[in-house]
């Protein structure tokens, strides 16, 4: 996903150092971001119908940052492998950043689709900022706490995307990205609705698994 160079993100600082090295040695590059995977927005339902493919850790499941209305770029994993080859060989993307999502939606929009298709109520959780403060305090007390560090990295990405809006349409424009939708208007991405229908049928493969 898109993250501002000045964001409070430990991981992004390392990325920016790598990007600076590429520019310093004048090596042509293309930075490709695709947004959040659709899998990250599969809600956990009371019936358990989505449990087989919910990849988020417990503390992030059904968590809605802020009011849930900020749009963000999201992607179906199947679309990534179709778009990346086109972007890599495209001379228009040399020394550019490209955002290649499947859709742009908010938490509330995606959860509303989930409720409509499943006929179940999504039980939402809140408290992103208090979570960040809590894990930050744990790390100050115990800097070697690897689990707390990983959790904090995840929450920093959430804050960047859903509070500061770095991964939103306005944020991506501010950060200087080209949009794959503008470069390849013929491309037909998978919609979140179609993706979730497959989830409810039990037909979605879990990322990095054989299922």
- Three-state helix/strand/coil letters over 91-136: HHHCCEEEECCCEEECHHHHHHHHHHHHCCCCCCECCHHHHHHHHH
Nearest-angstrom CA–CA distance, 169 and 103:
11
148: confidence class by pLDDT, cuts 50, 70, 90: low
Q: Is the pLDDT of residue 118 over 80?
A: yes
Q: Is the pLDDT of residue 140 over 90?
A: no
Q: What is the pLDDT of residues 79-88, one digit of tens each?
A: 999 999 999 9
**96-118: average pLDDT:** 97
What is the residue extent of each domain of the chain?
Answer: 10-126+165-199
The more confidently predicted of residues 128 and 151 is 151
**Looking at residue 76, what is its pLDDT?**
96
> Which structure tokens are listed for 91?
């001379």
Q: Is the pLDDT of residue 123 over 70?
A: yes
Q: What is the pLDDT of residues 172-203, one digit of tens each?
A: 999 999 999 999 999 999 999 999 999 999 98
Provide the 3-class DSSP secondary structure of residue 168.
Answer: coil
Q: Is the pLDDT of residue 18 over 90?
A: yes
Closest by CA to 128, choosing from 155, 160, 105, is 155
Superfamily of chain region 10-126+165-199: NAD(P)-binding Rossmann-like Domain (3.40.50.720)
**Looking at residue 134, what is its pLDDT?**
67
**Looking at residue 211, what is its pLDDT?**
57
**43-64: average pLDDT:** 89
Nearest-angstrom CA–CA distance, 186 and 207:
26
**33-43: average pLDDT:** 95
Helix extents (H) in the chain: 10-24, 77-89, 107-118, 128-141, 146-162, 169-174, 180-183, 192-201
Nearest-angstrom CA–CA distance, 164 and 111:
21
**Looking at residue 59, what is its pLDDT?**
79
Q: In what order do the strands lie in the sheet with 103-105?
A: 36-37, 72-75, 103-105
**Looking at residue 129, what is its pLDDT?**
65
Nearest-angstrom CA–CA distance, 137 and 149:
11
């Amino acid at each position: 996903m898109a993250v501002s160079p000045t964001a409070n993100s430990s991981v992004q600082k390392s990325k920016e150092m790598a990007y600076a090295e590429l520019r310093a040695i004048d090596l042509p590059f293309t930075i490709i971001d695709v947004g959040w995977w659709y899998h990250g927005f599969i809600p956990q339902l009371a019936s358990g119908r989505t449990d087989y493919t919910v990849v988020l850790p417990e503390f992030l499941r059904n968590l809605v940052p802020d009011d849930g209305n900020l749009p963000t770029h999201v992607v179906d994993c199947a679309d990534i492998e179709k778009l990346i080859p086109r972007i890599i060989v495209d001379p228009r993307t040399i020394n550019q950043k490209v955002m290649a999502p499947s859709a742009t939606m908010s938490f509330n929009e995606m959860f509303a689709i989930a409720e409509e298709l499943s006929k179940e109520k999504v039980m939402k959780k809140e408290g992103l900022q208090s979570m960040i403060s809590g894990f930050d305090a744990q790390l100050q007390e115990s800097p070697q706490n690897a689990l707390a560090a990983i959790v904090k990295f995840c929450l920093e990405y959430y804050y960047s995307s859903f509070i500061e809006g770095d991964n939103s349409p306005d944020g991506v424009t501010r950060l200087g990205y080209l949009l794959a939708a503008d470069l390849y208007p013929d491309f037909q991405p998978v919609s979140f609705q179609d993706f979730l229908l497959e989830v409810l049928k039990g037909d979605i493969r879990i990322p990095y698994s054989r299922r």
